[in-house]
Amino acid sequence: MITAAELTSALADAGVRPADTAYVHSGMQGAIRAEGSTREEKMDTVLRAFDDAVADGVLMLPTFTYSYTKGEDFDVAASPSTVGLLTERFRARPGVRRTVEPIFSTAVRGTLDAEWEAALFTVGDVDCFGERSVFAHLYAVDAKLVFFGVGFEFCTFAYLIEERVRVPYRYMKDFTGHVVVDGKRTPTTASYYVRRLDEDVENDFGPLAAELLARGDAAEVRVPKGPRIMVVGARAVHDAAVELLHANPDYLLARGHAA
């Protein structure tokens, strides 16, 4: 069995520090050999490792629902995360709050500064990857992006970069619905820089991951008989991707690397 302490140590080896903000993409396969006799106990072991890795910082896990894109209301307290059992387990823990963004919400343990508290926890119209989004926050604090048992293809932060660069294969689309907080339904609009469905638009972040590792900006470790963990700073991802997109506007697409 893999202990929480071993996982925390592996995260530290990959560059995560106690005062960091860590945004963790995770897969249950990374928890299979974690200490615990039940699935829930195993998930708690992994979450304890994340907590301990950033004990003095902020821990974030995605709890995306895509609610407005499905024509559904987003209930901050009740809409389940659609991006993994571990994220839903984290969302339900005492002391964890959830941002009010109706498509790409995030569960947060820790306190943000006042400006970002207001930006992320006040109900209103949003730009999912805009300058007041959780992804802009990750850039602002140079968060550590952690890929725990999953690959870099889960790097949602890259969509912020595509919007900032204004890649031609995406366009802004508005989705409407209601955000529900304590039973109160508030109508809002979420603007999302979506891909063009009439074009060959399939993201491939593998080449960017390889480039970040080659530059020494990312670190990868493997827990013995456990998950592979990759860690990279948000600004390193941003700056490398901007540079590479300027050279090749299709760099983040599969067609950008076709033979």
Domain-wise residue ranges, the chain: 4-257
Q: What is the pLDDT of residue 63?
A: 98
CB < 8 Å & 24+ apart, contacts of 241-246: 241/158, 241/161, 241/165, 241/208, 242/161, 242/164, 242/165, 244/208, 244/211, 245/161, 245/162, 245/165, 245/167, 246/165
Q: In what order do the strands lie in the sheet with 21-26?
A: 97-98, 106-109, 58-62, 21-26, 144-148, 228-233, 218-222
State pTM to two decimals: 0.96
Confidence band, pLDDT 50/70/90 cuts, at residue 28: confident
Q: Give me the pLDDT at residue 74, please.
A: 98
Strand arrangement, sheet containing 184-195 = 74-75, 170-181, 184-195, 126-127
pLDDT band at 31 (very low <50, low <70, confident <90, very high): confident
Report the C-alpha gap between 20 and 85 in whole angstroms: 24
Residue 152 Cα distances to 32, 94, 177, 207, 242, angstroms? 20, 29, 31, 10, 17
For 158-188, the pLDDT digits (tens) are 999 999 999 999 999 999 999 999 999 999 9
User: Which among 85, 95, 1 has a CA at the least distance from the CA of 43?
Assistant: 85
- Residue 108's SS3 state is strand
Q: What is the pLDDT of residue 190?
A: 98
Question: Does residue 258 surpass a pLDDT of 80?
Answer: no
CA distance 193 to 198: 15
